[in-house]
């Protein structure tokens, strides 16, 4: 049975391993480690796995390099200038005075002695 180019599965045409993605990016001057790429893909669930092999499709690669919404919001807020207002620190409490307890001394002569047995 022959496969026509149009009938070939998208996974067979477009699937790449993280190693292949890293090599393509390196050719374009973008340096990223394979480990970083795998960790990011796993963190956001943008990958497929067959046995021990991680497979990335174009939509997975787009998701890995998409900027998270929280990071975008933080940068927008950071660009705004807000007046810096520092409240004065509350006054410190004075240190408590040490409490002296009376020392009870035990007089050795006041302890009962054992009676001598005859």
Instruction: Point out which residues pair with 49 in neighbouring strands.
Output: 54
Do the domain assignments include residue 116? no
Do the domain assignments include residue 54? yes
When divided into structural domains, the chain yields a total of 1
Angle at 63 between CA 57 and CA 67, to 5 degrees: 155
Do the domain assignments include residue 23? yes
Tens-digit pLDDT profile for residues 21-60: 999 999 999 999 999 999 989 888 899 988 889 999 999 9
Instruction: State how far the Cα of 84 lies from the Cα of 30, in Å rounded to an integer.
Output: 38
Give the H/E segment covering residue 23.
Answer: helix 18-27
Instruction: Point out which residues pair with 53 in neighbouring strands.
Output: 50
Do the domain assignments include residue 104? no
Do the domain assignments include residue 92? no
Q: What is the pLDDT, as a whole number, of residue 92?
A: 79
Q: Specify the higher pLDDT residue, 98 or 8.
A: 98
């Amino acid at each position: 049975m022959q496969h026509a180019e149009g009938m070939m599965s998208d996974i067979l045409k477009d699937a790449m391993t993280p190693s292949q993605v890293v090599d393509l990016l390196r050719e374009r001057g973008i340096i990223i480690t394979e480990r970083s790429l795998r960790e990011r893909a796993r963190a956001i669930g943008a990958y497929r796995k067959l046995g021990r092999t991680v497979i990335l499709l174009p939509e997975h690669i787009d998701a890995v390099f998409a900027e998270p919404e929280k990071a975008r919001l933080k940068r927008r807020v950071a660009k705004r200038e807000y007046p810096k207002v520092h409240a004065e620190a509350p006054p410190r409490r004075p240190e408590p005075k040490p409490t002296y307890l009376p020392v009870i001394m035990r007089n050795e002569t006041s302890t009962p002695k054992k009676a001598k047995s005859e």
